């Protein structure tokens, strides 16, 4: 009877290891691509005692699209890379408003754009005035962020 429970556990473990390696490989490809590109802007969030949904605004001069992500660090694996979790498209004036969860901890937000930043520089801000704008994309917190486990 133990063999019946052991075989599925072994198969499950092998599948989990395979999927974990594939996920790390995906993150590695994205890290290498982003690190070798000049199409990324960053915004450093210093943390706040009032976590919640806030706007981050990207401003260029022409319409653009961007992947929305952050620097993901997994110390026990020695991993640091770009983890994207969303997408935003600017309006015709080159302004994109993202509403996302900002927690108590620091975070480096990263935006990978489809525009040449030397021709069309894009600035990032999250001022009090920016909070009055209607978001183009909204990304609520994950359940662990709501429970204050991370972020």
User: pTM of this prediction?
Assistant: 0.76
Pairing of strands 65-74, 52-59: unpaired
Tens digits of residue pLDDT in 67-112: 998 888 778 877 777 788 899 999 999 999 999 999 888 889 999 9
CB 123 within 8 A of CB 59: yes
110: helix, strand or coil:
strand
pLDDT of 125 reads 97
What is the rounded distance in angstroms from the CA atom of residue 54 to the CA atom of residue 127? Answer: 10
Tens digits of residue pLDDT in 13-62: 889 889 888 887 887 777 777 777 778 999 999 988 888 899 999 999 99
**pLDDT tops 60 at residue 4:** no
């Amino acid at each position: 009877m133990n063999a019946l429970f052991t075989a599925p556990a072994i198969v499950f473990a092998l599948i989990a290891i395979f999927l974990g390696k594939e996920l790390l490989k995906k993150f590695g490809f994205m890290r290498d691509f982003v690190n070798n590109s000049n199409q990324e802007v960053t915004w450093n969030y210093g943390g706040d005692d009032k976590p919640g949904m806030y706007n981050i605004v990207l401003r260029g001069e022409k319409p653009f699209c961007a992947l929305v992500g952050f620097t993901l660090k997994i110390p026990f694996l020695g991993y640091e890379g770009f983890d994207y979790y969303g997408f935003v498209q600017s309006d015709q004036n080159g302004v994109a408003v993202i509403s996302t969860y900002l927690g108590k901890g620091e975070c480096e937000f990263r935006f990978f754009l489809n525009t040449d930043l030397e021709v069309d520089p894009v600035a990032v801000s999250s001022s009090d005035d920016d909070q009055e704008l209607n978001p183009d994309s909204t990304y609520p917190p994950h359940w662990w962020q709501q429970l204050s486990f991370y972020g």
